[in-house]
Amino acid sequence: MRWRALTSGRTGQVWWAGAALEEALREAQRAFPLETGGLLLGWSTCPGSVVITQVIGPGPDATHRSTSFTPDAAWQEAQLADAYEQAGRRLQYLGDWHTHPRGTARLSSTDRATLRRIAAHADARAPYPVMALLAGGPLWQVVVRQQIRRRRPLWRLTLEVWQ
């Protein structure tokens, strides 16, 4: 029943560009059995409605471990700035994605705390951040959650892949 308490509540929809999802899956396979991840880019018109158009990977100097990873933050920031400019400043940072190799599709307490930190960080400009989780491997289960209220359950986003 604890699992339900962590994810119950409202649901929404996420549309993920097939090429961007494939990029995340390729990175997951490359790093397997170690954890990896990156950033999600796109736009969100309102809570519960998210479009993911691009992903940014961990970066060349990222550190990968079996149950965590540390991204190459400077590289990611440069990639984010470049993507933002190329999109005519119409792209948003939505949140993060990462893997749980050989693990479950449940967000950890660290993952949920990360979502709250993103929502509270004014410079992130992501008041309703998203976290995508790729679990398992080498076959991956993909789940996406969104933080809507600070202390409320996360919203489950139904995934639809578009070309």
What's the whole-model pTM score? 0.91
pLDDT (tens digit per residue) in 4-47: 333 445 789 999 999 999 999 999 999 999 999 999 999 998 89
Query: What is the per-residue burial (b if ≥16 Cβ within 10 Å, else e) of 10-37?
Result: eebebbbbeebbebbbebbeebbebbbb
Q: Would you state the pLDDT for residue 25?
A: 98
Give the residue from 17, 12, 43 showing the smallest Cα distance to 148: 12
Pick the CATH number of 2-162 from 3.40.140.10, 3.40.50.300, 3.30.160.60, 1.10.357.10: 3.40.140.10
Domain ranges of the chain: 2-162
pLDDT (tens digit per residue) in 38-57: 999 999 988 999 999 999 99
